Amino acid sequence: MKRYTIEIITAFAALFIVALAYNYDVPPKQIKTITVDEEIIISEPPKAWGIPIDETISIDTLTIKYGQSLSDILRPKGISAVAIDRIARASKSIFDVRKIKSGNKYFIIRKDSTLIPSKMIYEETLSDYVVFDLDSSLVYTGKKEIEFQSQIAGGVIKSSLWNAFTEAGVSPILAVELSDIFAWTIDFFGIQSGDEFRVLFDALYVEGQYAGIGQIHAASITHIGQTINAYFFNNGSQVGYFDDEGNSLRKAFLKAPLNFSRISSRFSNNRYHPVLKIRRPHHGVDYAAPKGTPVYSIGDGTVVKKGYQRNGGGNYINIKHNSVYTSQYMHLKGFARGISTGTRIKQGQVIGYVGSTGLSTGPHLDFRIYKNSSAVDPLKVEAPPVEPISEENLTHFATVRDSLQTIIHSIKTTSDEEKLVIQN
């Protein structure tokens, strides 16, 4: 790996691997496949879905095609329209059959004595499935066993956290999770070459197949020479990420209202306007991003204005956070569903999408913050932290912190010649 240093190894698995207990029935002794007028993608299905499977059972493994409905799937297999309607009605409170997605797997189970299916299993995710009993019209859901494998990753960033993970073959979702954890303390638009990261996390697997990122237990970012550590702590009364002293990493405001973009224009009292060709104040920060990129509220608050600014702002939203601060989001392509004047907003909630409405040369977000009705530079706003670890929880927190700290400090990040290593 030429540009990035990433090393992933198993870390103190006994401390952090959590096995979800789920008992399956008797595994299959033999699995047969019946060829029908469809392409059978996979001939070896999962071992069980809580259903006894033996040599008298045959299973077809198929994939939902674009536009296919439950009726489109079952009618060609000999299930009557009346039976399909009965099954759809029975599933209403359990699973909405209209949400069957193309590309997802489904399994048709038959008994040897008949070509008529007795059951259909639809896999909503790698772990979650829905069983349609075609004989009794019974519909129920289940969950496969999820394996948690504790892993650590560390690296030196050359351009961006996202690229570091992507080029190393590690899920970039981990980069997104890290940006969420440190969103209140590190401006990820300011990440520089030479910055470092370390993280201890759970990788999820279902039947040996990678299924995503689980809990991040600890992380560390070194940015411009300053190291900030984050430790996940949950004792029932306090839950979240805290620094070495037990202060919450969550601030009153997010550092930025959208993910993975660049700043195309900063706060200025005398900026040259690219459309009007004149100089005038620009009391905000422009974040260039692809059209449709989700825009988040930087904090809890209430929508006080929503509409279209004919003087250049295009579609915009104003959110009042408290008696002092109000934030504004302009040039939006559109608004998130349910957003209207008076709506209560949570921090990190999607409120709209990047666009180029109003006076704009391209898709971007013009983001502004007002303090006591006066515009202030969003990049210089200092927000107070939320409640730190309480005195009665400090001893417990210190124990958790110290064990996680030992692991984080052991992660290497500095050898550019090291290759990605995964050990399970």
Each residue's pLDDT tens digit, 255-283: 889 976 678 777 676 655 565 565 667 77
As a whole number, the mean pLDDT across the chain is 80
Share of the chain above pLDDT 90, in %: 41
Q: What's the CA gap between 335 and 281, in Å, rounded? A: 26
pLDDT at 20: 29
Class of domain 147-251+388-409: alpha beta
Rg (CA), the chain: 26
Give domain 57-143's CATH architecture: Roll (3.10)
Q: What's the CA gap between 110 and 100, in Å, rounded? A: 21
Q: Per-residue pLDDT for 52 more than 50?
A: yes
- How many Cα atoms are found within 13 Å in the side-chain-facing hemisphere of 216? 24
Q: Per-residue pLDDT for 6 more than 60?
A: no
Q: Per-residue pLDDT for 38 more than 60?
A: no
pLDDT in tens, 78-114: 899 999 999 999 999 899 998 899 999 999 988 766 6
pLDDT at 323: 78
Q: Per-residue pLDDT for 23 more than 50?
A: no
Q: Per-residue pLDDT for 217 more than 50?
A: yes
**Predicted TM-score (pTM) above 0.85:** no
203: Cα separation from own chain's centroid: 14
123 vs 21, more confident: 123
Lowest mean pLDDT among 42-46, 149-153, 303-307: 42-46
9 vs 255, more confident: 255
CATH 2.70.70.10, the chain: domain bounds: 262-380
pLDDT at 235: 87
Q: What's the CA gap between 81 and 88, in Å, rounded? A: 10
Lowest mean pLDDT among 157-161, 232-236, 254-258: 157-161
Distances (CA, A) of 402 to 11, 230, 246: 15, 12, 12
Class of domain 262-380: mainly beta
45 vs 130, more confident: 130
CATH 3.10.450.350, the chain: domain bounds: 57-143, 147-251+388-409
